[in-house]
Amino acid sequence: MHLGVIGCGKMGTALVSGAIRCNVLLPQNVWGIDAIDAATVAFSASTKAHHATSFLQLAENCDTFLLATKPQDIATACESLTHALAGRPALVISLAAGVTLSRLEKLLPENARVIRTMPNTPALVGKGASAYCLGTLATPDDQKITHTILAAVGIATEVSESLLDAVTGLSGSGPAYGFMVIEALADAGVKQGLSRQKSLELAAQTILGAAAMVLETGMHPAALRDMVASPAGTTIAAIAALEKNGLRHALHEAVSAATQRSKELSSLS
């Protein structure tokens, strides 16, 4: 595979860096381009990939393309890529939030094979949670390529496009919920007398450990919770306080609100 990266920001760089680290991609087979030349230079320096100076150069050297531009720049990027491809078939993997498969397929050549993805920011540290859906012409090989690239920086799962807004509400926006929980726990530790640094380290590692136990044991979170909550102990008292103050309901509402906003943005694309 020869990959052309259109938009050399943090997410595009993170995905390519992860794929290179896992030997999914070779740096010499990757080309990057960005409207901001400094971003392309930084991308090339970070990944050791080529710095493309034009879409024509990108298209001549690549058969797969990662659309990592901002959603508002998608139309311009697709127009430039379409012109450069000059009818040649290609796989196009889009990271643009809210830009539907149908719109992508209208903007790109008729023979373009399109896959839409929703990664999240922990991909920057190799702990991402990504989902993707296939366009009308995408093949099983295209699915495998996309899955492999996304899985290089975390986990990846295929969903129908109708569920991608829910994915956005859960894992796309979800890191922000986790950051808020960690911040709140750290503040609570400080209130109880811990130093700010120690409290933050303990809070972050605790959430990291809890997540790892869910993923590595395959056990239901409720079962793992029950392992911690001994009769009349400290944890069950804390759980009762969390339920009383609506933690579960607040998270339900957060995911619902983000999902609804994603649907609104998709309808505008």
Three-state SS string over 45-108 comes to HHHCCEECCCHHHHHHHCCEEEECCCHHHHHHHHHHHHHHHCCCCCEEEECCCCCCHHHHHHHC
Instruction: Please tell me whether residues 176 and 202 are part of one structural domain.
Output: yes
pLDDT score recorded for residue 84:
97
Q: 4: which residues sit within 8 A by CB, 6+ positions away?
A: 30, 31, 32, 33, 52, 58, 59, 61, 62, 64, 65, 66
Dist. CA 12–CA 89, nearest whole Å: 22
Q: Is residue 132 a contact partner of residue 116, using CB atoms and an 8 Å limit? A: yes
Q: Pick the last residue of a domain from 164, 191, 223.
A: 164
Q: Pick the last residue of a domain from 139, 164, 189.
A: 164
Strands annotated E in 88-178: 91-94, 113-118, 128-134, 154-158
CB atoms within 10 A of CB 103: 19
Q: What is the CATH number of the domain that holds 139?
A: 3.40.50.720
Instruction: Please tell me whether residues 127 and 201 are part of one structural domain.
Output: no
Domain count, the chain: 2
Q: What is the CATH number of the domain that holds 210?
A: 1.10.3730.10
Q: What is the pLDDT along the chain (269 residues), one digit of tens a residue?
A: 999 999 999 999 999 999 999 899 999 999 999 999 999 999 999 999 999 999 999 999 999 999 999 999 999 999 999 999 999 999 999 999 889 999 999 999 999 999 999 999 999 899 999 999 999 999 999 999 999 999 999 999 999 999 999 999 999 999 999 999 999 999 999 999 999 999 999 999 999 999 999 999 999 999 999 999 999 999 999 999 999 999 999 999 999 999 999 998 888 76
Instruction: Please tell me whether residues 127 and 249 are part of one structural domain.
Output: no
Q: Is residue 108 a contact partner of residue 179, using CB atoms and an 8 Å limit? A: no
Sign of the C-alpha dihedral, residues 90, 29, 120, 220? Answer: positive
Q: Pick the last residue of a domain from 164, 199, 223.
A: 164
pLDDT score recorded for residue 234:
96
Range of the domain at 67: 3-164
Upper half-sphere CA count for residue 158 (Cβ side, 13 Å): 13
Instruction: Please tell me whether residues 206 and 178 are part of one structural domain.
Output: yes
Dist. CA 17–CA 132, nearest whole Å: 19
What separation in angstroms does the CA of 255 have from each of 81, 96, 146, 177, 178? 35, 20, 26, 9, 12
